[in-house]
Structure 1
Amino acid sequence: MRKLVYTGFMSLDGVLDSPGGPEEGHRSGGWVVKDLEFVPEAWSLKAEELADTTALMFGRRSYEAFASVWPASEDHASYKELPKYVVSSSLSDDALVGGWGPSTILRTTEDVAGLKESEGGSIYIHGSAELARRLSEAGLIDQYNLLVFPVLLGAGKSLFHRADRDKQMLSLRESESYSNGILKLIYDVKR
């Protein structure tokens, strides 16, 4: 069985929205790089994830955003040939980006569950807040790798729904704090 890992940047108030810049839609977009001292070790989680990643998964909007930048990015060269899975009921096959490794569209949560049952290593979800919420509610996410930033954004896309749902326990696998206020939190989902 494959492990499904959500990895992302999150504000202290749980917002994932627009970490890279205002063009992503949030009024405070770019909060990952603005007003924060760069501390290289705070980003070590990303290098650790590369060693474990055997495939990437995105929702449609995140796929479209990343596919326009990552294929030509030196920072993401290691991802180029990895299999990509896009979970979307509306994306057409001809919208998939060529030259960025094999890509497959999954139409339903059940398709994701089937993929998890297949042979292979860890699949990492980047961005894709809506997809992550749906998969979390379906009990399909196995681990959360979070870099929590010392900022309160007040509004935006959240990793978790605010709706009433059953309790889900997590087990802290690893944590670290950095001099610029970033926290690394890695949680396994208890089953």
Structure 2
Amino acid sequence: MRTLIVSEFITLDGVVDSPGGGDHPHAGWTFKDVEFDEAAYEIKGREQEEAGCLLLGRQSYDEFAPVWPSMDEFAEYNAMPKYVVSSTLTDPEWTHTTVLRGLDEVAALKESDEPGTILVHASARLAQGLAAAGLVDRYHLLVFPVVLGSGKRLFSSDAAKTRFTLTEHAAYANGVQLTVLDVVR
């Protein structure tokens, strides 16, 4: 069975909304409000190397697909299979992209014998649905020393009680903390 990892930039109050740009009033909080420290992003390189595919929600797909294909730093993502969970997307233009119509298809993807992890980037609503369905195995969280007060959150207010095991942790000079958590089943 493949490991499904949710990877997020997250604030101290649990907001994952618009870390690099978007509609949130404080969009871009990862680079506007916190000094850049390259060491904090080392996990992102590891994620690309270990991922066998990328899983996205529709909104994240719509934001990434026009930009990532032209970015050299995302060469591995551009070459690997990508899956979008959507009930409306019919003709994805990003190469190697397949549309999944529901979480049952995500569960089947986890059961496949394809190599590498399944990596979920951004996609707060998808991450909440995957968690509720018991499909998330691990979280890679870069926790930024910022409180936004409002916005999309990683965990819904009605999420079931979940326990985690800390498998990796690091703190960086800019206050960002890496927290890698495995879901306890």
Q: TM-score range by the shorter chain?
A: over 0.9
Name the residue aligned to 2:93. 97
Q: Percent identity?
A: 47
Q: Deviations over 1:109-152 (max 9, x none)?
A: 11111111111220100010000000000000000000000000
**How is 1:143-162 mapped onto 2 (pairs within 5 angstroms)?**
143-162=138-157
Name the residue aligned to 1:117. 111
Q: Deviations over 1:63-89 (max 9, x none)?
A: 011001001112212211100000011
Residues in 2 aligned to 1:172 and 1:151: alpha-carbon distance in whole angstroms: 22
**How is 1:49-88 mapped onto 2 (pairs within 5 angstroms)?**
49-88=47-86
Name the residue aligned to 2:162. 168
Q: Deviations over 1:10-66 (max 9, x none)?
A: 011000000112xx1100000000132221111111111122111000001100110
What amino acid maps onto 1:172 in structure 2? L
Cα drift, residue 166 of structure 1? 3.1
Name the residue aligned to 1:183. 177
Cα RMSD of the aligned pairs, angstroms, is: 1.0
Cα drift, residue 167 of structure 1? 1.5
Moved beyond 3 Å, runs of 4+? none
What amino acid maps onto 1:75 in structure 2? E
2:128 to 130, 133, 147: 133
Q: How many equivalent residue pairs?
A: 184
Cα drift, residue 187 of structure 1? 0.4
Residues in 2 aligned to 1:12 and 1:190: alpha-carbon distance in whole angstroms: 22
Does structure 1 residue 8 correspond to structure 2 residue 32? Answer: no
SS in 1 for 2:89: coil
Residues in 2 aligned to 1:166 and 1:11: alpha-carbon distance in whole angstroms: 21
2:36 to 25, 38, 42: 38
Structure 1 residue runs of 5 or longer lacking an equivalent are none
What amino acid maps onto 1:19 in structure 2? P
TM, length-normalised to structure 2: 0.96
What amino acid maps onto 1:18 in structure 2? S
What amino acid maps onto 1:76 in structure 2? F
Residues in 1 aligned to 2:126 and 2:44: alpha-carbon distance in whole angstroms: 21
TM, length-normalised to structure 1: 0.93
Residues in 2 aligned to 1:166 and 1:124: alpha-carbon distance in whole angstroms: 22
